[in-house]
């Protein structure tokens, strides 16, 4: 059987499109001399004879491979969950048995003790096996992110150069795969990090590789300033909501809301608020908490909040705060809002502290500063900062690809220390970095791209019941 591909130029944008890469097939009878012969005809409609169909085919093949890998990983996660339940039951039984032995040692002989020791070693071996398997899954996720990032870059390039209708179908396939990966990672994260909301840890010990969602909702790499993420204290029925606000300069003039991650990726917002001309802000370290935008204003220089439930606007001036000190690569970020498990914060620098950062705890109902802490870290030497469980973490540039969490200040103990927790950037510069306590992730707006990171903490047994082992 002879296979022939017929390529037709797309003369009108109104012509119907089939899915690129999955050719429509039909049997065509050969009427020219030499007798009749069946052949298979596959038609692909292209905008021009030079359209790089090979690139789309590669993207679609990659999407299929990734989807298959994700199905395998989801199967593994179900297996992990059942094993974790079984292991936990074994550990509980062993714990009860050991407590009995401690209370009534005369009722047990050496053989009983040896039997318990063997069971403990068996459980330890099973746990080690499970840890290795889950680490293997993490490696798979990192590999998939690299593939997906390459896919979206190809689609963005084609969309800018050729008819967007051609690329749209393949982009939808990419979005499906991206959502599959997000769901798979979410379940994986729940196994790795079952203590969301708990502060029973001694701090951050690891940051994941950058998880890149896509370019901003404007699909424009020139929108380098802005932010994105989730509400750190969501109102009822908006727990899955995402927000985005991006610009070509450091102004804050509007914000878009999306019901969930899928609609964020599809750029399908359900609300778009334009700020009143007298409410426009500056800088990029704004956050959303309790359906309220907290941000910096320059006239007068101070703090501002806009509640989107009541549309009530408020502002506050901090007399000592200075306009002279901002982050390394981000002008006009004099105030940096942050939210964590303990509430709402803002950091800034003053002339009195010679540019060293001050941490302020915000009383949310009154919108006033209820307590302050002075640190020794110089703000212009910091690329960004965020709060976790009442602890300030400051970040600095290591090289063109790497950031490092290098400093922490605990507001509970008033102790500060220098640490080294490196992590990668997706692009060279970023304008917004914030922690969200609802999922214990870092959200970064990185040269126009939505990027986020998983965090690992050094968990303790204080004030909480921990799982029988820690997966790292």
Give the per-residue pLDDT at 465.
33
Answer yes or no: is 193 within a domain: no
Give the per-residue pLDDT at 59.
67
Give the per-residue pLDDT at 15.
33
Angle, CA of 284, 286 and 292, to the nearest 5°:
150
- 90 plus 163 within the same structural domain: yes
Answer yes or no: is 467 within a domain: no
Give the per-residue pLDDT at 438.
92
Answer yes or no: is 472 within a domain: no
Among candidate residues 161, 166, 164, 162, the one with its CA nearest the CA of residue 45: 166
Q: pLDDT (tens digit, 9 = 90+) per residue, 155-192? A: 666 656 655 554 555 555 556 566 656 656 555 555 55
Give the per-residue pLDDT at 393.
98
Model confidence at 462: pLDDT above 50: no
Contact 56, 158 (CB under 8 A): yes
Give the per-residue pLDDT at 258.
96
Local confidence band at 44 (pLDDT 50, 70, 90 cut-offs): very low
Among candidate residues 119, 87, 86, 113, the one with its CA nearest the CA of residue 100: 113
The least confident of 174-183, 193-202, 389-398 is 174-183
- 42 plus 58 within the same structural domain: no
Answer yes or no: is 264 within a domain: yes
Mean pLDDT of 144-153: 67
How far is 442 from 330, CA to CA, in rounded Å? 18
Residue of higher predicted confidence among 43 and 415: 415
Q: What integer best gives the mean pLDDT of the chain?
A: 78
Among candidate residues 231, 224, 192, the one with its CA nearest the CA of residue 208: 192
Model confidence at 233: pLDDT above 80: yes
> What range does the domain containing 247 cover?
198-459
Model confidence at 293: pLDDT above 60: yes
- 235 plus 347 within the same structural domain: yes
How far is 452 from 98, CA to CA, in rounded Å? 44
Mean pLDDT of 446-457: 92
Answer yes or no: is 465 within a domain: no
Mean pLDDT of 135-160: 65
Its pTM stands at 0.63
How many domains are there within the chain? 3
Mean pLDDT of 115-126: 75
Q: HEC states along 320-375?
A: CECCCCCECCECCCCCEEEEECCEEEEEEEECCCCCEEEEEEEECCCCEEEEEEEE
- 295 plus 417 within the same structural domain: yes
- 331 plus 389 within the same structural domain: yes
Residue of higher predicted confidence among 146 and 27: 146
Domain boundary among 31, 46, 61: 46
């Amino acid at each position: 059987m002879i296979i022939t591909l017929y390529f037709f130029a797309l003369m009108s944008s109104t012509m119907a499109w089939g899915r690129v890469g999955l050719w429509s097939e039909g049997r065509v009878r050969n009427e020219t001399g030499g007798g009749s012969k069946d052949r298979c005809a596959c038609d692909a409609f292209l905008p021009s004879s030079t359209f790089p169909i090979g690139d789309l085919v590669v993207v679609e093949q990659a999407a299929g491979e990734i989807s298959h890998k994700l199905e395998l990983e989801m199967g593994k996660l179900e297996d992990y969950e059942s094993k974790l339940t079984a292991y936990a039951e074994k550990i509980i039984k062993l714990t009860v048995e050991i407590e009995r032995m401690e209370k009534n040692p005369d009722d047990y002989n050496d053989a009983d003790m040896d039997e318990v020791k063997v069971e403990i070693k068996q459980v330890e071996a099973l746990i080690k096996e499970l840890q290795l398997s889950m680490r293997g899954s993490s490696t798979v996720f990192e590999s998939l992110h690299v593939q997906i990032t390459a896919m979206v870059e190809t689609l963005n390039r084609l969309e800018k150069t050729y008819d967007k209708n051609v690329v749209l179908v393949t982009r939808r396939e990419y979005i499906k795969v991206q959502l599959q990966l997000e769901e798979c990672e979410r379940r994986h994260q729940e196994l790795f990090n079952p203590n969301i909301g708990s502060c029973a840890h001694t701090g951050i010990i690891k940051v994941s590789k950058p998880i890149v969602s896509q370019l901003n909702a404007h699909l424009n790499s020139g929108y380098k300033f802005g932010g994105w993420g989730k509400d750190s204290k969501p109102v009822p029925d908006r727990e899955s909501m995402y927000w985005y606000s991006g610009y070509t300069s450091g102004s804050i003039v509007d914000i878009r809301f999306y019901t969930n991650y899928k609609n964020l990726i599809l750029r399908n917002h359900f609300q778009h608020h334009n700020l009143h001309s007298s409410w426009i802000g500056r800088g990029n370290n704004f956050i959303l908490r309790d359906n309220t935008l907290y941000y910096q204003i320059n006239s007068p220089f101070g703090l501002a909040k806009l509640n989107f439930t009541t549309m009530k606007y408020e502002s506050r001036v901090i007399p000592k705060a200075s306009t002279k000190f901002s982050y390394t690569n981000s002008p006009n970020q004099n105030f940096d809002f942050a939210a964590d498990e303990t509430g709402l914060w803002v950091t800034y620098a003053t002339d009195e502290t010679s540019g060293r950062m001050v941490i302020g705890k915000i009383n949310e109902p009154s919108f006033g500063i209820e307590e302050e802490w002075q640190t020794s870290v110089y703000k212009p030497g910091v690329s960004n900062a965020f709060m976790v469980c009442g602890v300030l973490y400051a970040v600095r540039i290591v090289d063109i690809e790497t950031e490092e969490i290098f400093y922490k200040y605990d507001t509970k103990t008033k102790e500060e220390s220098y640490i080294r927790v490196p992590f990668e950037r997706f692009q060279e510069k970023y304008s917004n970095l914030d922690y969200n306590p609802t999922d214990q992730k870092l959200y970064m707006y990185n040269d126009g791209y939505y990027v986020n990171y998983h965090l690992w903490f050094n968990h303790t047994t204080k004030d909480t019941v921990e799982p029988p082992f820690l997966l790292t």
